Structure 1
Amino acid sequence: MIDHTGLSISNPEAAIAFYDQALAPLGISLLATVPVEFTSGKVVVGYGRERPQFWLHEGERQTPPVHMAFTAASRAEVDAFYAAAIAAGGQDNGAPGLRPHYHPNYYGAFVRDPDGNNIEAVCHLPE
């Protein structure tokens, strides 16, 4: 339904380091960097699996913070995302586990990124 989306980051170096590490277990990597000549000198980068679908652009912190959920292929990927995001400096906002109040097979993990956004990995497959 949504082709691409993004959020504002206040510290590009910290955000890129966080997302490089946190999204790697999901098979998501940095795929595009827009030349600053086209961005009024601001850092703009795109992450994805096959094409950029999640964009970070330098600016003020989002207020209120944004919730962004990334699809995981398995519960093990959710666990790996959470471990990588915490190792990258993310703050725990909900350890990996079932959230049956959302859906019987909803397995997710939540971490706050360097700007306080609620970043999630979720798998809807049964074990």
Structure 2
Amino acid sequence: MIDHTGVIVSDFAKSKAFYAAALAPIGYTLIMEVPAAVTGHTDVAGFGENGKPDFWISRGTPNQPPIHVAFRVGQRAPVDAFHGAALGAGGRDNGGPGIRAHFHPDYYGAFVLDPDGHNIEVVCHAPADA
């Protein structure tokens, strides 16, 4: 079981604002920030829900090649809302909301590229009527 993950970003403030806006529709908020003075090497920010950060960004040289992170939700509407919010926050479309039947018949996802080109996805595995 994965406890947390993250990406390295080139512009910490810009990416923090992007993720705050893009992840809000799925219930994620900025929960914690830890400055370089505490970590000993870089600023970090943790996003999550229910008081537990499980997605972290840190200032530095972005991961190359960019990585893919997918967030799972229980209904399709948050997938659509994420996509719109992420584009509104400066993300680039990498696959609008829709069925990806090559994964399975109910795989409903949307993809955006964050400011550093990381492929961020929100996915719902439930049927449309769930």
Normalised to the residue count of structure 2, the TM-score between the two structures is 0.94
Which one is further off, 113-122 or 35-44? 35-44
Aligned twin of 1:23: 23
CA contact (8 A) 1:26 1:73 kept: no
Q: Residues 1-127 of structure 1: matches in 2 within 5 Å? A: 1-40=1-40, 42-50=42-50, 51-127=52-128
Which runs of 5 or more structure 2 residues have no equivalent in the other structure? Answer: none
CA contact (8 A) 1:93 1:118 kept: yes
Aligned residues: 127
- Find the residue that maps to 2:81 and give its secondary structure: helix
Q: d(CA) in 1 for partners of 2:107 and 2:25?
A: 18
1:34-71 per-residue CA deviation (whole Å, 9 max, x = no partner) reads 13321236220101012010011101011000000011
Q: d(CA) in 2 for partners of 1:53 and 1:63?
A: 21
CA contact (8 A) 1:46 1:52 kept: yes
1:87-118 per-residue CA deviation (whole Å, 9 max, x = no partner) reads 00000000000001001110000000000000
**What stretches of structure 1 move > 2 A for 4+ residues in a row?**
39-42
> What CA RMSD, in Å, does the superposition of the two structures yield over aligned residues?
0.9
Superposition deviation, residue 21 in structure 1? 0.3
Q: d(CA) in 2 for partners of 1:43 and 1:11?
A: 11
- Find the residue that maps to 1:74 and give its secondary structure: coil
Identity %: 54
